[in-house]
Amino acid sequence: MLINKLFSVKNKTVVITGCGTGIGFELAKGFILNEANVIGISRRRPKENLNFSSFFECDITIQNEIKKLANQIRLDNTTIDVLINVAGVSILKSSNLNEMSRFDKTLDTNLRAMYNLILELKSQYISGSSIINFSSIAGHFGFPNNPSYCASKGAVLSLSKALSYDLGSQNIRVNCIMPGYFHTKMTAVSFSDEKEKKMRENRTFLGRWGGLKELLGASIFLASDASSYVTGTELIVDGGWSAKGL
């Protein structure tokens, strides 16, 4: 197969959560540019106008809102080639939530809502569908002052492995992307602190933070026929952070 066909996402229906800002927005823009039919899901529409095939302004932690959008997708007879779960939160310790409330809210968004959406859309997947769940290198390592985020991202990885087993017989693939440090709203505090920013840069082999566009290639690979025999695994995109020793 020619490489432009192998990695093609043209005319694939791609559902992306958390596409209002940050990583999700950049992926939506990239998939649309590569002629995919993108269904966007986010609490807010992005400020930049994108050519979504449809868009749902939705809080994925609210059951009724998830059911409503899933029912609409079924009513539209839309089959899903790719589901990319990007939506997530990282709640600062300095927030007005106590520790258990912070834990519950983090897992509710980062894990429970993701699993709920996967289940609600299950009838619309087809043979060959690809589910891509965004975890984080925090799912592998102990980062300070945010155990709820680390726990949620480790659970996303485990959930993805379990689902790859359960859905494999239907030829549905489930994989994880594990980003390192990228400049988003979630990482704005450490990015704006020169000392913290430099410390993270020095922890990578490449000596820099990732650019959001650098997550598009990994996502297109897992969404396309190029990864047709790849499931139950993780793709780490961290500039070498997790491989670095001294």
Active site residues: 149
Q: Which of 44, 47, 48 is nearest to 33 (CA)?
A: 48
CA-CA distances (angstroms) from residue 225 to 33, 111, 157, 191, 210?
A: 18, 27, 22, 36, 26
Euclidean distance between CA atoms 76 and 139, whole angstroms: 36
- Name the token pair of 25: 């927005």
